[in-house]
Structure 1
Amino acid sequence: MNHPDTREWLLANGLGGYTSTTVCGANTRRYHGLLVAAVCPPVKRRVLLARVDEFVHTSQASHELSCSCWHANSTTIRGGYSYLSDFTLDPVPTWTYRVAGGELSKQVYCPPGQNSVVIAYHWRGDNTISLEIKLLANDRDYHSQTMASPDWQFDQQVDDRGIFRVQAHPPGEPAGTPWYWCCTPYRYTDYRFGGQWYRDYHWSAEQERGLPDHEDNYYLGSVLGSLMAGDRIALTFTTEADPRPLDMRDLVSRRKDDAHRAVNRARLPQVDLSHRLVSAADQFVVRRGATGEASIIAGYHWFTDWGRDAMLSLPGLLLCTGRFAEARGVLHTFAAQLDRGMLPN
């Protein structure tokens, strides 16, 4: 690509959390992040994993694939967008980079029903490369911003299975949400601890809105993997206390099967438009943690479940798609809040 693609993409996890950024990888608004967890589904969203920065190293050169925009030069997105040869959204967001004499593909997916994100890489080239993946963390409400401080602490612990536990300790606040990550296969990867702040990431969309438009992220460390032709590695990030490594190929296959079943349930023809509509509708349907009943998100990135929007959208999202049990659940969710004939907006 000759120019950075700042179109936004989003995948929701059915709990109110999501993963979302731009095609080029630069976070352009405060709501962007790779692991944005709803710690009290579907509300109290927190940005935990802000971004990852990828580098391909060979004996001849190093190539940065990620993109960033810095506050000091807020009109320019810098990084490796020139290596990006293709991006597709279905069945999962997939990037293809032409770099170092081969192709590196990257896929991102949120498994439904958990605050998790899987990022998988596949190298197709005759040579061996070293892939470096820098982990940039945070722990903040998704409406706010983080400024670096020596009083911030990020604890990292790793067990004998190679599962890392991360917990932030913001100054003057309770300990943050613990989260976990692991890399598969673990046998040919290494981890180099970081420990410093990357300062002044610029949010162009927030600047346009006249809001605070920059923040700092904490560099946890770098995953280092040596990839030969056909090799794959995957990183799983999650708030699940006992995380299991997830295989992207299994997740993609399951997503395709789920899409076919959803289209059949909606009695729509098995064509691309049907899949896109049903998939888009599914992004807004969530399950409330306190009751287990379904609810409807009013919109992304910043809205939660609102009564008015839920009632307006219920016929199209749930009745037209044959999701009658969930439609009943939404009515139960809001009927429980009924007060003198009024629903909370």
Structure 2
Amino acid sequence: MPAPSAFQLFGPSALSPVLVTGGTGFLGRRLVGRLLAQGRPVTVLARRAAPDLAARGVRFITAALDDTAALRDACAGIHTVFHVAAKVGVWGRYDDFHRANVLGTRALLASARAHGARVFVHTSTPSVVYNGRGLAGADESLPLTTRCPSPYPLTKAVAEREVLAADSPALRTVALRPHLIWGDDDPHLIPRVLAQARRGRLRIVGRGRNRVDMVHVENAADAHLLAEANIDRCAGRAYFVTNGEPVLLWDWINHLLTALGEKPVARRIPLCAASAIGACCEAAWRVLPLRGEPPMTRFIAAELAKDHWFDLSAARRDLGYEPRISMAEGTVALIAHLKNQG
């Protein structure tokens, strides 16, 4: 009989302490709630504390990802690290993204090893395989990107590579790539779409028939918990995580807008024109003291116009992952939630 693995000897139980970086964010908060429901002691490292989570017994370390002393403190006594935090966005200084996404992840790995953590679940992104082309049924055999017009995918690709390279019998590591996380209380994707639509700034880029995978936040949380539970089967590997139901992106957006009483998007712009506008915007934001993100970039143009859907075979096989909340079910709930919010 083979010797038991480190994870089998020290695997998670109701008392196994966990650290969630970015535990006050959209996905991180859902994950924290699920862990608390399991009775797990939870530490959260985030820039700001959340009184509602603190009231439920969460231990908070208020710090940035580049605070190495805080990372060491956060990892003390921890069995599993869920590294959800990252600097996200499509625009900004490469050094800022590198500091948070690469140096922060590197320091967190070192702290986890130093304190004897057993599992490290890293939240990556499908954009780490960006290649400028559409991705239709893409699987994990695609190489990590080394050329991308956005610093976010570049730095996340470096971080993912280092996380997987750090896998060892002492600390098992895995990377998950959830695509376009959405659901009730989403503070990013859906509010941005609605705001742009209400200002009349949304345009269908390209033919408008591109198929895109998304993942409901509860399904994304499921995948993270399954990765921890099945770490012996998935350690050292990366997995795409989606709803497994690619939608026609612009049809889905227009269905959502119509259901909320907003005008559907009808105006169109060719991909080549959107890419040219994006390049001009990028140049202006580099030279001029302009705040925020450009309204268009080459990366955004490609994301809005091209197919991005993924093969879930590996996640189903190794994690036992199966999306619980369908696109239809989640969309109905989202519309009701938004209407209730007024």
**Same fold? TM cut 0.5:** no
TM category (shorter chain) comes to under 0.3
Q: Which structure dedicates a bigger proportion of its chain to helix?
A: 2
Calculate the TM-score normalised by the size of structure 2: 0.27
Calculate the TM-score normalised by the size of structure 1: 0.27
Q: Which structure dedicates a bigger proportion of its chain to strand?
A: 1
